[in-house]
Chain A
Amino acid sequence: MKSGLIFILSLIVLTSICDTINQLFLKSAINSLDISLSANIIKIFKFILRLILIPRVWLGFLFSVLSLCIWLFVLSRADLNFAFSADSMHYIFIAFASRIFLKEKIGPKRWFGTLLIVVGIILVSVS
């Protein structure tokens, strides 16, 4: 039971990392377009069309397919409510990856939020 839990948690870490890589590629591609979204549906579709022509977006897409495969495997072995709650760790990974790769800042509120998520995941895992 205990080793099973660690195995599932490691897989959730892996899918969260894949998600984070996908988000980083997507965000850096969007940054490179240097355009602000408007509410106009046609403009949004044009924006998405320009976006999917960037190779980085496809690289990110590969990681999100990988993430989906791992996620499906996790769901076949674990309760949905546990897996979904534990998957919230991707918020933490994205915050730290944004700091390292996109030079975004982590303020005291984000550190505090990260701590709360970690405590939450531990509580969800032990119960």
Chain B
Amino acid sequence: MLQKKLTIKILVFLIFSDILETFTQFCFKKSAFSEAAYLPDFFRSAFSSPYLWIGLFSVLLTFIIWSTILSKIDLSVAVPVASFSYILVPLVSIILLHEKITILRWSGIIFIIFGIIFVSLSSKEGEADS
């Protein structure tokens, strides 16, 4: 029923949702700067940060875009492209948050991406069975 072929238009939507997801995580990280151990203090500072609300708006936008994408294309095609955010988030972490990533951690990230691809591929088997 759903098509398997990735068109340019859907690819653009998918990459846009990857960028949005990365932007969301960046905003959340920026909002959670408080070191407060006392939780009410911590959440007061996080929820009063504009970054958090921009991040939440971005979550809503991502949800709408994903609903549109998944109405057009099979999940097993969409998820591998979406897992591109597992590269994008570390890149943004390095460039904008000055985090450090070792070669060992990059290799772990590669494992995770292939893992996600395999987990999503098998959704076809589930459909064939039902």
**Contact residues of A with B, CB < 8 Å?**
36-39, 41, 44, 48, 69, 71-73, 75-76, 79-82, 84-85, 88, 91-92, 95, 104-110, 112-127
Contacts and interface: CB of A to CB of B under 8 A. Distances in A.
Contacts of B107: 123
B76 to A, nearest CB: 10
20 contacts: A41-B68, A44-B68, A48-B67, A72-B31, A72-B46, A76-B35, A79-B97, A80-B26, A81-B90, A85-B108, A95-B119, A108-B122, A110-B119, A113-B121, A119-B111, A119-B115, A120-B110, A120-B112, A120-B114, A124-B112
B84 interface: no
Main secondary structure of the interface of A (DSSP, over half): helix
Contacts of A91: 115-116, 119
B52 A72 contact: yes
A117 B118 CA distance: 10
Interface string B1-36: 100000000000000000000000110110111110
Given A110-B118, A110-B122, A113-B122, A105 B28 contact: no
A91 to B, nearest CB: 5
4 tightest A-B CB contacts, nearest first: A113-B118, A123-B108, A120-B111, A116-B115
Contacts of B64: 44
B111 A117 contact: yes
B119 to A, nearest CB: 4
A112 B31 CA distance: 36
A123 B113 CA distance: 13
Given A113-B117, A124-B105, 14 more contacts: A37-B71, A39-B72, A71-B28, A72-B32, A80-B25, A81-B94, A85-B105, A88-B116, A113-B116, A116-B111, A116-B112, A119-B115, A120-B109, A120-B115
